[in-house]
Amino acid sequence: MSSNKVMVNGVIRNMTAEEISEFNDRQTAYINGALARELKKLREIRLKLLTETDYLGLGDLTMSSDMTTYRQALRDLTNGLDTVEKVNTKLELNVDENEKEIQGSYKNFPTKP
Amino acid sequence: MAYIGRTPTNAALTASDLADGIVSTAKIAADAVTDAKIADDVVGTEHLTANEVDTAALGADAVTGAQLADNAINSEHYTDGSIDTAHIAADQITNAKIADDQIDSEHYVDGSIDTAHIADNQITLAKLAGGTDGNIISYDASGDPVAIATGSDGQVLTSTGAGSPPAFEALPSSGSHVKLLTTTVSGSDVSAITFDSNYITSTYDNYVAVCQMIPGTDNATPIVQIAVSGAFQGGANDYGHGYYGDGGTDGNDNDRANIEIGGSTGNATGENCAMHVYMYGLTTTTHNAKFAFNSNRDTNGGVHGLSVGGGSVNFNNAINGVRFLFGNGNVKVGSKVTLYGVVQ
């Protein structure tokens, strides 16, 4: 919800009709883009985790079945995620002993062997 | 028949029958001496009874100035309002003849009151014509008073040299970072904190913004956008950005409508995000403008979050505005951004 105000050079004034329209369009685009945005975030995290174990696929190494299962689970992580709520469930963080979230530690990701 | 003195020589009594000087007053009947019986110019003032010459006995316009005693005509003899301008000699109305507080401004010729007629220290502020809020009075090259236009917040009054009034200008370039403006949102949340072409000028190529911002919507991400010719750019491919975050998160995207300068930020009491944002080559068209940021925040989970990164504008137009906002929602009261110009 716009306050219909903008601060320009330290002075708060009412937004013009054009500015209100631009603000509202941006809010609408943000809302409409929520699923794609959250999925993108999830994929970036997944890509990072897959990249960590890519070297195990080199010819002179043998990937364990647990690792293969883990990597497949990562690839399947986005299956069926058609709402923001479902994506956010995947992005829930583990918490420490003080119930504080641990950045980078995801509760509903497959466990790395 | 009796006669006076002697027997008339003629049948009728003539003047010659009368001896000189013998006709007494009793021999003249009342009201018998007519105007014709009185010689011209012989009635002296001793023949007039005191106070007996009435108005009817004086001819119209017959009393001359010589007939009036000096200093004898009092104001009661003038008809009210009868003394006209012609009867007052030039320069005869002295100060003492004018009642106090009676001369109104209509009696002054336009523009006739000169400096000599205004006492020292008598022009109060209330007597000066109103002006524009924040203007300062100076003098122009002709020596006439001139209003110096109100500057913008943070500007200072500087000399523009001899023969020219001073002007409000940005602080002169000195030091490595010149503070241009500090803005603090108060009273009402705003959609963005903007610096327009009054601050993003060719005086500096590079700028730094020190920001502490509170999102109006929980879990919103701080972003920056630039303006070209006064219009803020938000096309889907106008910017690219990349970042590293706490917990090993990172991201890179070359097709964006803005540059993120931090991560998702909570807006519970006390929560905010703070960052400094370096902006390179905003006003030149040689290269695409670049951004670098270092950001710390409170997440909506109530823990610290870190994000460092940067971004690029995907074109090289001259930039004349920059705004700090959130990807969604408003910028909350209490948010603050200070803009510095970087001297190269």
Task: Give pLDDT tens digits for B202-254.
Answer: 888 899 999 999 999 999 999 999 999 999 999 999 999 999 988 777 888 89
Whole-model pTM: value is 0.60
Q: What is the pLDDT of residue B294?
A: 97
- H or E element at residue A26: helix A17-32
Closest CA to B208 of B265, B332, B293: B293
Q: With an 8 Å Cβ cutoff, is B191 touching chain A?
A: yes
Contact list, B248 vs chain A (CB under 8 Å): 48, 104
For residues B251 and A48, the answer to whether their CB atoms sit within 8 Å is no
Cβ atoms of B295 and B304 within 8 Å: the answer is: no
Residue B3 has pLDDT above 60, yes or no: no
* pLDDT at site A5: 95
Residues within 8 A of A (CB atoms), B 229-288 only: 232, 234, 245-251, 257
Looking at the complex, report in whole angstroms how far the Cα of residue A1 sits from the nearest Cα belonging to chain B: 7
- Residue from B306, B342, B325 nearest B183 by CA: B325
The angle subtended at Cα B145 by Cα B139 and Cα B151, nearest 5°, is 70
Q: How confident is the model at residue A100 (pLDDT cuts 50, 70, 90)?
A: confident
Q: Is the pLDDT of residue B134 over 80?
A: yes
ipTM: 0.76
B115 has a pLDDT exceeding 70: yes
Q: Is the pLDDT of residue B6 over 70?
A: no
Residue B240: what pLDDT? 96
In A, which residues are within 8 Å of B254 by CB distance?
Answer: none
Distance CA A63, CA A85 (A): 34
* Both structure tokens of B108: 């002054």
Distance CA B258, CA B222 (A): 10
Q: Measured between alpha carbons, how far is B264 from B307 in angstroms, rounded to an integer?
A: 10
Percent of chain B with pLDDT over 70: 95
Q: Which residue did the predictor score with more confidence, B189 or A104? A: B189
By Cβ distance, the residue of A15, A48, A93 closest to B191 is: A15
How far is it, in rounded angstroms, from Cα A4 to Cα A24? 10
Chain A residues within 8 A (CB-CB) of chain B?
1-12, 15, 19, 22-23, 26-27, 29-31, 41, 44-45, 48, 93, 100-105
Q: What does the mean pLDDT of chain B come to?
A: 90
Q: B76: helix, coil or strand? A: helix
User: Contact A22/B246, CB-based, under 8 Å?
Assistant: no
Give φ, ψ of B17 to 5 degrees: -75, -15
Residue B70, both tokens: 């000096």
Q: Residue B7's pLDDT band (boundaries 50, 70, 90)?
A: low
Between residues B171 and A36, which one has the greater pLDDT? A36
Query: Residue A23: its pLDDT value, please?
Result: 93
Q: For residue A16, is pLDDT > 90?
A: yes
